[in-house]
Structure 1
Amino acid sequence: MRTQLITQQGYNDLKQELDELWRTERPEVTKKVAWAASLGDRSENADYQYNKKRLREIDRRVRYLRKCLENLKIVEYRPEQNGKVFFGAWVEVENDAGETLKFRIVGYDEIFDRKDYISIDSPMARALLKKQVDDEAEVQTPSGIVVWYINSINYETPTTESG
């Protein structure tokens, strides 16, 4: 079972996606389906078949988002979190080989299409929770335990570095 937590930004993004699907995309696709259906034989009408399929996809996503948004709990940043890894933190870690990773710990529904976000339910996030800078975290992986050292913890959205 996954944690039903989300950042305010993630909640706003999901709400915006729902609004866009329901108010913009669905009406457009519905018009296309009605137009294609008016042409007659639907069995060989690619426009009709494609848009009908797209309408089902939109409806499925709308149902999911509505149910999801009802059950999610927004986690707000609190000043007492400073210096430790909690939900919503940007964390930079390094291993013994000198490899570094930087990511934000967020809810499951926020990780899609983002390579720099990891789920609070992931082994890495679980190992990092409540740790501080210079602490080490042991992460269980399929190939064994990997040790990561915490370089930085931040609760601000990082700015794009120019380099």
Structure 2
Amino acid sequence: MTGQPNYITPEGFAKLRAEYDHLLGHERPRVVEVVSWAAGNGDRSENGDYLYGRKRMREIDGQLRRLSRKMKDAKVVDPKAQPDKSRVYFGATVTIADEDDNRRTVTIVGNDETDAGAGRIGWGSPIARALRGAAAGDLRRVALPAGEKEYEVMTITYPE
């Protein structure tokens, strides 16, 4: 951990939990069954099912550990319960405009649930850090890899 809380929405936490449960309850037992069957076939050194199964089991176990750690460190924050909906905080959906009046709508979510294509940006991203605490009409400067850019906060909404 970096010392910062690992904020996540209830929906994001539910997705982590569902992936964990699927791996533990379905995927891993299926692979264990294949490995057990393959081990019973004799020479394991040239048994593709056995070797691939063992490799896949290590991958699943690693993913289970990562998911478990993420869930343990997660601080679930429900954006609906945000007391001050006039400013940008975790879970806000914000419409911003750049100097050329190009508008973009982003939702600030946990770093583990980002999806840039869907406009879901991580709480720790440069744009989200710059927007934190902003109100509609505020100008915020963001240092991006392509250079510095200024955005105006147009609207702020939270889930109902």
TM-score range, shorter chain: 0.7 to 0.9
Query: Mapping of 1:1-16 within 5 angstroms?
Result: 1=2, 3-16=5-18
Code of the aligned partner of 2:68: R
Q: CA deviation at 1:86?
A: 0.4
Alpha-carbon separation, structure 1, partners of 2:28 and 2:117: 25
Code of the aligned partner of 1:123: P
Q: Check if 1:149 corresponds to 2:152.
A: yes
Task: Answer whether contact 1:3 1:120 (CA < 8 A) is retained.
Answer: no
| Structure 2 residue matching 1:22: 3-state secondary structure | helix
Q: What is the root-mean-square deviation in Å for CA atoms of aligned residues?
A: 2.1
Query: Mapping of 1:85-100 within 5 angstroms?
Result: 85-100=88-103
Alpha-carbon separation, structure 2, partners of 1:133 and 1:25: 47
Q: CA deviation at 1:24?
A: 1.0
Alpha-carbon separation, structure 2, partners of 1:114 and 1:143: 18
Q: Which residue of 1 aligns with 2:26?
A: 24
| Structure 2 residue matching 1:80: 3-state secondary structure | coil
Structure 2 residues not aligned, in runs of 5+ = none
Q: 1:114 to 1:64 in 2, by over 3 A?
A: farther
Task: Answer whether contact 1:3 1:121 (CA < 8 A) is retained.
Answer: no
TM-score by length of 1: 0.85
TM-score by length of 2: 0.86
Alpha-carbon separation, structure 2, partners of 1:93 and 1:113: 15
| Structure 2 residue matching 1:85: 3-state secondary structure | coil
Post-superposition, which runs of at least 4 consecutive aligned residues in structure 1 deviate over 4 A? 112-115
Q: Check if 1:110 corresponds to 2:113.
A: yes
Code of the aligned partner of 1:99: N
Code of the aligned partner of 2:40: S
